[in-house]
Every structure is written in structure tokens, then in C-alpha cells.
Amino acid sequence: MVGVNKKKINVGMVGYKFMGKAHSHAYKDVGMFFDTAADVVMKAICGRDENGVKEAADKFGWESYETDWRKMIAREDIDFVDINAPSDAHKEITLAAIAAGKHVFCEKPLALNLADGREMLAAAEKAGVKHAICFNYRFLPAVQLAKQIIDEGRLGEIHHYRATYLQDWLVDPNTPLAWRLKKEVAGSGAHGDINAHSIDLARFLIGEFDRVVGHNRTFVKERPLLTGSAGGLSGGGASTEKGEVTVDDATGFLADFKNGAMGMFVASRFAAGRKNHNTFEIHGSKGTIRWDLEKLNELEVYFREDEPNLAGFRRILATEPSHKYAGNWWPTGHIIGYEHAFVHIVYEFIQHMTTDSPFTPTFLDGVKCQEVLEAVDLSIERGAWVSVDEV
């Protein structure tokens, strides 16, 4: 609820394309649907291309725009900095924001590598600023319900955790060489980009990883260079010149969890027909739950205690007021979408910054995720299992 006498909290954001739009929407909507402890003010949006960032400021409703993030971070009227520029910029911008005493909200993956992520976490903790990483999928009502079911023991002992994150935006070899395909910019390909989400959801839902062993592929080794800027996953023009793809197109791995569960993960951008197929299926001694981002309001459940002649999977539509966050939107059955998870994480981080309420995922979760990502990479180099505690 927006109030005349409420405190204000001013955000400055670096990035204005795909995630910049999703985060801008969250800042605009959050006060309309959630009773925040402070009203968030969209003070400044920052991007290198003045025409592009000016258009975004006008379209998304930012009070001002900057083309130099250092200038924006130095502004007295900025309380926290949202970093959703490409991954190679996360560390430098985040460390500068922390040094300026700002709270920080960073898109995933936290950094290009584990050492950088650990440096960012240490800096945030030393400075005493609040820090968050945007693992948005934790904040969907059906995923929150899955966690409640597991935490209440309704699945019993967890035996299996299986996750896929499948897209198909690169299956065409003529799709240009976007920044997500360059190791020096993205850090890794499907692995750091979307296995990161599956790893975070697994940690959120069933706990810590013990050891992993993986494999990966780069199916298309070179692609047309990109001409012009591409906002989303692809788009932009294709040059006649080609450049090398320096990241994985797909990475799969097996995992053992510290609680004894067995894990299987695969992330691919070559799964023709799968558009944003982020799924998990969890089997326990008392039953099973399954979730699919492409049907994000639904949770499939199976409980062994059901009468045998009535036993079977059933679909729970997580839109009841009792389902976390769902009640803030619409009456039951009026479903929500991908963008609403960003509103929820923004709400929780605003509360964390202004009331010191509990909040995860913080940079620690970003580092824990990076540890699993790098343990998988090391296992691929060695061709053998790697303990996550080793990296």
C-alpha cells in the first residue's frame, strides 16, 4: 500500500533490458499489492547506451537515468543498488555499491566464478549492508507450497530429486552469438545460467549437496556475430562473420545430497519444443511432488496414505489465500505469472532492508550455488565425482 507518510527507499538499477524490465515491473507493482514498510522510489536506471536507457526510463517510470553507474552509485538519493547487467559486470558494480554503503540486489549468477562470489559476500558482510541474489523461482506460491509440504514431513524421507531446465532458443545454428554464449561475459552457458536455478531450488527445498559428477556439450561451436543489441534471449541481427561459442550448450550432472537423497540435473538450450521448462520432481517415502514453470501455478502431488483405490497424482492450484503471496493478487483461480515472482522477492527484500526481517536468498546462497556449479565443472575436467566441500 502506498502511503503519504510512509518511509521511502530509493533504488538505483544498473541494466534495462530483459531483467531490467522484469525488475522495473516489480518496483512499480509491489506497493499496489503488498503493504511494504517503505515505499520504493524508482530513482535512477543506468545503462551504457543513452538512447536505450532514456527510452527505458520513460517507458518503465524511472525518475532519472544515468549512463555511468559510478555516478549513480555516488548519488546520496540512492539507498540500494539493483545489478542486472550482464554477469561480467556484477562483481565490480556490486563491490563499488557496497563501498558506498548501499544495500545490493544482484541478478544470478552472483559472479563469473566462485572466488569473485566469495569476495562479494565477504565485502557485503564486512560493510554490514543487506544483500540479495535474485533466485526468483523460490517466490512462486506453488514452490512455497512444495517447501511447506516437505518441511511438514508429508513426503517423508527424500530419496530422489530430479530437475530439468530446458530451453530451445539456441537449437538454430544461425542464432547469433549473444553475450550469454561468451565465457568472459557470462561465465558459463546453460550451466551457470539455468542449472543455477535448479541448484538453488534443490537447496531451498531439500538441503545441501554433498558430491557431484557431470558432463557437458557445446553442440554448435561457432555462430554469426551479433549486430545490434539483443534484449531477450536472442534477437538482434546476424553478421556474415562468425565467432567462437566458448560456453556449454547443455550440462547434466548427478548429485548426492548430504541428507542421502540422489539427484539428477540437466540444463540445455537445445531441447526443441521446451521454451522455459524449469521442473523438479521429488520422491519421498510418503509421496511425490512435481512442479513445472510452464504451469507455474500448479503443484502435482501424490501421497501414499491415500486410499489405494483413490490413490493417484492430483493437481493443486496454488491460488488460495492460504498459498503464500497468492492472496495478495486475485481471488482463487485467477492465476499469476512469471513476472510476479520478481514482485515477491522485491517485497521481501524491501522488508528485509527496512525492518531487518529474515531474508534468503542472500549472497551466501549465491556462493553455495557457485560451489556446486564449479564442483560440476571440476568433475567434468577430472571425469570423476567431486565433493562440493572441496571447491
Among residues 257 and 291, whose Cβ is nearest to ligand SOE?
291
| Least distance to ligand SOE, CB of residue 332, Å | 26
Among residues 82 and 193, whose Cβ is nearest to ligand SOE?
193
Q: Which residues contact 125 (CB under 8 A, 6 or more apart)?
A: none
Among residues 233 and 364, whose Cβ is nearest to ligand SOE?
233
| Least distance to ligand SOE, CB of residue 186, Å | 9
Q: What is the largest CA-CA distance in the chain?
A: 67
Among residues 19 and 78, whose Cβ is nearest to ligand SOE?
19
Whole-number Å distance between alpha carbons of 102 and 218: 39
| Least distance to ligand SOE, CB of residue 167, Å | 6
Residue nearest to ligand SOE (CB): 193
Whole-number Å distance between alpha carbons of 225 and 35: 46
CA angle 244, 250, 254 (to 5 degrees): 140
| Least distance to ligand SOE, CB of residue 108, Å | 6
| Least distance to ligand SOE, CB of residue 360, Å | 18
| Least distance to ligand SOE, CB of residue 193, Å | 5
User: Residue 207 to residues 200, 263, 267: CA-CA distances in angstroms?
Assistant: 9, 11, 20
Among residues 10 and 84, whose Cβ is nearest to ligand SOE?
84
Give me the residues paired with residue 317 across strands: 298
Burial group, residue 234, by CB count within 10 angstroms (0-12, 13-18, 19+): middle
Name the packing angle between helices 50-60 and 18-33 (round to 10°): 20
Among residues 257 and 265, whose Cβ is nearest to ligand SOE?
265
Whole-number Å distance between alpha carbons of 228 and 32: 36
Q: For 194, which DSSP code?
A: I
Among residues 36 and 370, whose Cβ is nearest to ligand SOE?
370
| Least distance to ligand SOE, CB of residue 349, Å | 17
Strands (E), the chain: 7-14, 38-46, 64-66, 80-83, 103-106, 131-133, 158-166, 209-217, 222-227, 237-244, 250-257, 262-268, 277-284, 287-292, 298-303, 314-317, 386-387
Separation of first and last alpha carbons in the chain: 45
Among residues 55 and 339, whose Cβ is nearest to ligand SOE?
339
Cα of 141 vs its chain's centroid, Å? 16
**Residues interacting with ligand SOE, by CB under 6 A?**
167, 193-194, 233, 276
| Least distance to ligand SOE, CB of residue 137, Å | 7
